[in-house]
């Protein structure tokens, strides 16, 4: 698009340039390690990863130049990493095609053929990837398919690697228990909403250029070929379950309610290769996703990464995932898993406010952090009604801040009207607990029970964040 065609998009203003410079200054120095890992084991590709009608990296050629001021420096770096494409050797017998879609397709060399992990979003790029691995590493049949989880970018392209005959003859299609239900719930029943919102979240309809669509973090974007949902015929129900597929042993760890409602990690002992699905990728995965997918449970996520560390870290000499590039060497696998675990642990407390009332309080309206002199009686009354869910006015307002050994703010109210359940002995306290403006719980029982009619909150800067 050009100005003449009515492109209203402007160059970066000085404010944008300053903001980008501040981001650039806050980033750690790039030691080149990720680029080296993302290039390691490159075996070959097709020009621009171009799959007519479904996918191409060609529009992203602008990533080879200097960063334009319209692009966030961190996004720029990730976009360049995601622009690398082709077939890569993860370890002898394990190969990945990356950059042919938003996700990765992985091929494991079995006794007779290829075991395919996650056949991309649509059939055409999956078929192109299969053709590439057959051309460079051996023309063999597909002997099994594994879906790591229930998101469409990991199963939608299955018809590019299996024929209707293969499916009829029962080629194993392995998935975590609950896969079909979760896939149908998120991508079929809520499919219109999910894809509509994904359009906004990923900017897929924007022109692909430095003022439009640059990258999606996980990859460039989703391919636009033929999508299918083929039901699995082998279900992985529990951690420790093992299968032998085409002569290759697989040890599974189920990880429900992590990145997806049905997801699993697995280890191939013969190859010392660990697949962490989409549970450990090379970015901080969003937990409260703006595209309308289910809110992720950071607590469960952290739990299962911890479990994976215990189960596999001593054994796996390489770790790969369904997006981004692998980690090589036992020590790096352990370190990377530990780092993701630490991020998930930290995220536990950052995903707290979900219901409307709590979100209003946490976002901006943190009245208790203001000076008393800046707050009117009406502000206090409004805040009281929102935090206490009452319609009257506070009879008494208590607002103070303590500093010193412990630092905390208190903003509490005594209601004007008597609560209808004042004398109910089972009535719970109504004080909400915040840590640095983030809502933590309303079940902390901060006040003695006889004061349970008091409404309000306590915000502490000192409590450890993973309570
Ligand atoms: Zn994905």
Tell me which residue has tokens 């003022």: 211
Q: Is 211 exposed, middle or buried (0-12, 13-18, 19+ CB in 10 A)?
A: middle
For residue 231, report the distance from its CA to the centre of ligand 1, in Å.
18
Q: What is the pTM of this model?
A: 0.74
The secondary structure of residue 77, as a DSSP letter, is H
For residue 103, report the distance from its CA to the centre of ligand 1, in Å.
6
The C-alpha atoms of residue 446 and residue 193 are separated, in whole angstroms, by 41
Describe the strand order of the beta sheet including 173-176 as a list of residue ranges: 42-44, 86-91, 94-98, 105-109, 114-117, 142-146, 173-176, 234-236
What SS3 class is residue 340? helix
For residue 222, report the distance from its CA to the centre of ligand 1, in Å.
9
- Contacts of residue 355, Cβ cutoff 8 Å, sequence gap at least 6: none
pLDDT, residue 294, reads 65
Distances (CA, A) of 215 to 21, 36, 82, 218, 381: 19, 20, 8, 8, 46
The secondary structure of residue 286, as a DSSP letter, is -
Task: Give the pLDDT of the chain (467 residues) as one tens digit per residue.
Answer: 444 557 789 999 999 999 999 999 999 999 999 999 999 999 999 999 999 999 999 999 999 999 999 999 999 999 999 999 999 999 999 999 999 999 999 999 999 999 999 999 999 999 999 999 999 999 999 999 999 999 999 999 999 999 999 999 999 999 999 999 988 877 667 667 777 777 777 787 899 999 999 999 999 999 999 999 999 999 999 999 999 999 999 999 999 989 888 999 999 999 999 999 999 999 877 776 665 566 778 888 899 999 999 999 999 999 999 999 999 999 999 999 998 888 888 776 654 444 434 444 444 458 888 888 888 888 888 888 888 777 788 888 888 877 666 677 888 888 887 766 666 666 666 788 877 777 777 776 777 777 777 888 888 765 543 33
DSSP string, 140-198: --EEEEE--BSSGGGTTTGGGT--HHHHHTT--EEEETTHHHHHIIIIIITHHHHHHHH
For residue 318, report the distance from its CA to the centre of ligand 1, in Å.
20
Task: Show the tokens assigned to 307.
Answer: 């479990």
Q: How far is CA 144 from the centre of its chain?
A: 27
pLDDT, residue 118, reads 98
For residue 57, report the distance from its CA to the centre of ligand 1, in Å.
18
Is the distance from CB of 208 to CB of 202 less than 8 angstroms? Answer: no
Distances (CA, A) of 465 to 284, 288, 353: 18, 18, 15
The C-alpha atoms of residue 308 and residue 257 are separated, in whole angstroms, by 15
pLDDT, residue 340, reads 86
The C-alpha atoms of residue 450 and residue 110 are separated, in whole angstroms, by 68
Describe the strand order of the beta sheet including 327-328 as a list of residue ranges: 242-245, 248-254, 264-268, 273-275, 318-320, 327-328
pLDDT, residue 8, reads 85
- Tell me the domains of the chain and their CATH numbers: 3-347 (3.60.15.30), 364-460 (3.30.230.80)
For residue 183, report the distance from its CA to the centre of ligand 1, in Å.
13
Is the distance from CB of 341 to CB of 305 less than 8 angstroms? Answer: yes
E strands, 343-461, are 394-402, 408-415, 430-435, 438-441, 455-460
For residue 250, report the distance from its CA to the centre of ligand 1, in Å.
21
Sign, CA dihedral 264-265-267-268, equals: positive
What SS3 class is residue 278? coil
For residue 440, report the distance from its CA to the centre of ligand 1, in Å.
29
pLDDT, residue 401, reads 78
For residue 276, report the distance from its CA to the centre of ligand 1, in Å.
12
- Contacts of residue 116, Cβ cutoff 8 Å, sequence gap at least 6: 105, 106, 107, 130, 142, 144, 145, 146, 161
How much is the CA Rg of the chain, to the nearest whole Å?
A: 26
Report which secondary-structure segment, H or E, holds 238.
none
For residue 304, report the distance from its CA to the centre of ligand 1, in Å.
18
Task: Show the tokens assigned to 222.
Answer: 């989703």
Task: Show the tokens assigned to 331.
Answer: 């020590």
The C-alpha atoms of residue 87 and residue 15 are separated, in whole angstroms, by 41
- Nearest residue to 210 via CA among 73, 35, 349, 46: 73
For residue 120, report the distance from its CA to the centre of ligand 1, in Å.
9
For residue 35, report the distance from its CA to the centre of ligand 1, in Å.
21
């Amino acid at each position: 698009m050009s100005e003449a065609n009515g492109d209203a998009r402007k160059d970066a203003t000085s404010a944008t340039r300053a903001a980008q410079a501040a981001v650039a200054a806050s980033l750690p120095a790039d030691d080149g390690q990720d680029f080296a890992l993302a290039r390691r084991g490159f075996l070959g590709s097709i020009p621009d990863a171009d799959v007519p009608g479904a996918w191409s990296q060609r529009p992203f050629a602008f990533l080879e130049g200097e960063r334009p001021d319209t692009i966030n420096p961190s996004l720029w770096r990730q976009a360049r990493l995601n622009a690398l494409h082709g077939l890569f050797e993860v370890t002898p017998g394990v190969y990945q095609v990356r950059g042919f879609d938003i996700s990765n397709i992985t091929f494991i060399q079995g006794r007779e053929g290829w075991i395919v992990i996650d056949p991309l979003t649509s059939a055409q790029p999956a078929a192109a990837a299969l053709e590439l691995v057959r051309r460079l590493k051996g023309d063999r049949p597909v002997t099994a398919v594994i879906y790591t989880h229930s998101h469409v970018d990991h199963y939608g392209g299955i018809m590019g690697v299996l024929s209707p005959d293969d499916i009829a003859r029962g080629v194993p299609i392995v998935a975590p228990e609950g896969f079909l239900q979760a896939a149908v719930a998120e991508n079929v029943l809520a499919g219109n909403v999910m894809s509509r919102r994904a359009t906004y979240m990923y900017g897929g309809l924007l022109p692909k250029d430095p003022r439009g669509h640059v990258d999606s973090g996980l990859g460039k974007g989703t391919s636009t070929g033929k999508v299918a949902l083929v039901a699995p015929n082998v279900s992985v129900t529990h951690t420790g379950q093992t299968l032998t597929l085409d002569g290759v042993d697989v040890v599974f760890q189920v990880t429900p309610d992590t990145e997806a409602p049905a997801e699993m990690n697995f280890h191939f002992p013969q190859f010392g290769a660990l697949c962490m699905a989409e549970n450990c990728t090379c970015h901080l995965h969003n937990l409260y996703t703006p595209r309308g997918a289910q809110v992720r449970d950071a607590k469960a996520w952290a739990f299962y990464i911890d479990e994976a560390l215990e189960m596999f870290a001593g054994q796996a000499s390489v770790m790969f995932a369904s997006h981004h590039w692998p980690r090589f060497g036992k020590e790096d696998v352990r370190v990377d898993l530990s780092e993701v675990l630490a991020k998930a642990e930290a995220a536990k407390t950052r995903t707290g406010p979900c219901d409307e009332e709590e979100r209003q309080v946490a976002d901006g309206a943190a009245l208790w952090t203001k000076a008393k002199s800046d707050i009117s009686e009406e502000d206090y009354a409004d805040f009281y009604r929102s935090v206490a869910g009452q319609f009257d006015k506070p009879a008494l307002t208590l607002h103070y801040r303590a500093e010193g050994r412990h630092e905390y703010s208190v903003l509490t109210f005594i209601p004007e009207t008597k609560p209808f359940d004042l004398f109910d002995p089972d009535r719970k306290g109504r004080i909400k607990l915040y840590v640095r403006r983030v809502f933590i719980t309303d079940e902390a029982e901060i006040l003695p029970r006889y004061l349970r009619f008091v409404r309000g909150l306590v915000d502490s800067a000192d409590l450890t964040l993973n309570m």
